[in-house]
Copies of this chain bind each other. A is one copy, B any other.
Amino acid sequence: MSPKPILSTLLLAASALVVPPLGAAGKEPITPIPPARVTHRAMVELGKQLFFDPRLSRSGAISCNSCHNLSMGGTDNLKTSIGHNWQQGPINSPTVLNARFNTAQFWDGRAVDLKAQAGGPIANPKEMASSHALAVDVLQSIPGYVAAFRQAFGHDRLGIDEVTQAIAAFEETLVTPNSRFDKWLKGDRKALTKVELDGYRLFKSAGCVVCHNGPAVGGNSFQKMGLVAPYLTSNPAQGRVDVTGKEEDRLHFKVPTLRNVALSYPYFHDGAAATLTEAVDTMARVQLGRQFSADENAKVVAFLKTLTGEQPRVSLPVLPPSTEKTPRPRPFEQP
Contact = CB atoms under 8 A, between A and B. Distances in A.
Interface string A293-335: 0000000000000000001011111110110100011011000
A130 interface: no
A71 B262 contact: no
A77 B265 contact: no
A59 B86 CA distance: 10
Contacts of A275: 324
Contacts of A274: 324, 328
A180 B52 CA distance: 27
Interface residues of A, number: 41
Contacts of A311: 318
A195 interface: no
Which one of A60, A72, A274 has the highest number of Cβ atoms from chain B below 10 Å of its Cβ?
A72
Contacts of A70: 316
Contacts of A262: 321
A300 to B, nearest CB: 16
Contacts of A316: 70-71, 314-316
Q: How many copies does the complex hold?
A: 2
Contacts of A66: 61
A330 to B, nearest CB: 10
Interface in A239-281: 262-263, 265, 274-275, 277
A88 B86 CA distance: 12
30 contacts: A53-B71, A54-B72, A54-B76, A59-B78, A59-B82, A60-B77, A60-B78, A61-B66, A61-B76, A61-B78, A71-B317, A71-B318, A72-B319, A73-B321, A77-B329, A78-B329, A78-B331, A82-B331, A86-B86, A86-B331, A86-B332, A262-B321, A265-B321, A265-B322, A274-B324, A274-B328, A311-B318, A313-B315, A314-B315, A316-B316
